[in-house]
A and B are shown apart, each in its own frame.
Chain A
């Protein structure tokens, strides 16, 4: 078994050397005369306005949160899935099935909750924002008057 994992290490090392080797080798082949225009960040030919490192939509954050939890769940289910067959062959299949079923069912409740709360809707937040902005825009002239 250590042999197998040593392979992973060697593969990672060779992959790094592959990239490094071709970059260093290419160094002697390619030109290198950067100018300010060349080193500018591409923004469709315009001069870039500000940095790109600004806040972005929290929806991505929600997706990542839900993902982490489901990933942990997959990590838990793989060991159990890999021995399910041997348990059936031992005649303890019903017990094993109930175990898997309860596990999946409880998690399905979680998914159903997130779904029912509308957190899987991608467009919903956008619509509310737009509606709110539109409402405010309608009320603004009234207040001014």
Chain B
């Protein structure tokens, strides 16, 4: 982004290194981008809340939102307007300062993640050389916001929800963090763009198919991300059947909507991170990153848009998988959740790091082995997908898809 702003200044006939207003242009540019990105996050979160209800309706044979706009698409706008015009209640018994401050912590922690999260080949706010480490660090602020909101509400439900949520998020940060170390080892850099560049456009060039341990790391990361985002099957902190609504029970109106926004926006963050770290990011099949760098004029714009489309497509696919899991799996118990983290995911992620360390040594000695492993992993992946689609199709054929879901649209 700095390069973009420099070019802009040069375009107006100034030298960015000496022009006294450079830093103000930087500041204005940053503020503009920040505002755009935060609004993007808010709007995607809104659209996801609509999409989630439609997906739920389709999966569970019920009617989703279908009145406001085509297919109920504008439902999220209606929801936003409703939340904006609702009364903002602060309980008399609550700790008022912290109660009001908690949403700010949530939003800051959530917005800062987007600084290092790429969108396409050139579209990244700041390609930090500590990118992924930074993302892991700032998500910690969300935990602070959750604890603050739960504690300050002075409600039993809120407190239980907050403590459960905090314990769950911090537990799953360990396997998640160790799993993300594997792409870092393979790429040899912490920069998110650097990690994407170390992969390729074709599936067998992705880190997820690099070796078995990397695949395991991907699964561990995905499970941990689900738990950190309080998504089903790990939605114990807001289990509506036992805790009303968890840590945000006492919040209403606009203040409630920020918790909502962060939760749905997190789906984008976790999916985009999975795409970046394991699934090749914005890499276009058959076009190397060097070609993208060298492209100029119309070709550059076209390739840029293509890379953006590929990144967004992959991310939206994983967002769909997250929704799919939510409406397929039942909620697990607290002890199961803790067991899974400390007894399965943490030892497995340690083992995966050790395996990748060995594997990188082996591949360095015999480079052909790396290619063979990638090929085997890719073939296995394709075989599994084909088998899965075949079985699903067979199931649908056997039971007979009798319901005409489309009539609700």
Contacts and interface: CB of A to CB of B under 8 A. Distances in A.
Interface string B343-355: 1001100100110
B324 interface: no
A19 B107 contact: yes
Contacts of A100: 353-354, 357
Contacts of A41: 91, 93-94, 153-155, 250
B153 A52 contact: yes
A10 B30 CA distance: 7
A11 B112 contact: yes
Contacts of B155: 41-43, 48, 52
A130 interface: no
A97 interface: yes
A82 B189 contact: yes
A81 B184 contact: yes
A64 B94 CA distance: 25
A32 B26 contact: no
B156 A108 contact: no
A129 interface: no
A42 B157 contact: yes
A131 interface: no
Contacts of B31: 10, 13-14
Given A53-B151, A85-B185, A88-B364, A32 B87 contact: yes
Interface in A45-82: 48, 51-53, 56, 60, 63-64, 66-67, 70-71, 74, 77-78, 81-82
Interface in B331-379: 334-335, 338-339, 342-343, 346-347, 350, 353-354, 357-358, 360-361, 364
Contacts of B177: 71, 74
A11 B163 contact: no
A3 B133 CA distance: 17
Interface in B80-95: 84-94
Contact residues on A (Cβ < 8 Å of other chain), bracket = 35 or more
B93 A14 contact: no
Given A3-B2, A14-B35, A42 B250 contact: yes
Nearest to B365: A93
A22 B84 contact: yes
A29 interface: yes
A145 interface: no
B126 A52 contact: no
Contacts, number: 231
Given A74-B174, A93-B361, A18 B85 contact: no
A92 to B, nearest CB: 11
A32 B88 contact: yes
Contacts of A43: 155-157
A4 B126 contact: yes
Given A52-B154, A56-B163, A81-B185, A71 B174 contact: yes
Nearest to B83: A26
A71 B127 CA distance: 24
B83 to A, nearest CB: 8
B34 A7 contact: yes
Contact residues on B (Cβ < 8 Å of other chain), bracket = 35 or more
B43 interface: no
B361 A88 contact: yes
A39 B27 CA distance: 42
Interface string A86-121: 101100011001001100100110010001000011
A67 B173 contact: yes
Nearest to B169: A67
B323 to A, nearest CB: 26
B115 A7 contact: yes
Contacts of B85: 26, 29-30
A51 B253 CA distance: 24
A34 interface: yes
B336 to A, nearest CB: 8
Contacts of B357: 84, 97, 100-101
A144 interface: no
Given A15-B38, A77-B181, A51 B154 contact: yes
Interface of B: 1-2, 26-27, 30-31, 33-35, 37-38, 42, 84-94, 103-104, 107-108, 110-112, 114-115, 125-129, 133-134, 136, 138, 151, 153-159, 163, 166-167, 170-171, 173-174, 177-178, 181, 184-190, 244, 249-250, 253-255, 258, 334-335, 338-339, 342-343, 346-347, 350, 353-354, 357-358, 360-361, 364
Interface of A: 1, 3-8, 10-16, 18-20, 22-23, 25-26, 29-34, 36, 38-44, 48, 51-53, 56, 60, 63-64, 66-67, 70-71, 74, 77-78, 81-86, 88-89, 93-94, 97, 100-101, 104, 107-108, 111, 115, 120-123
9 contacts: A4-B127, A12-B112, A14-B31, A26-B254, A29-B84, A41-B93, A51-B154, A71-B170, A100-B353
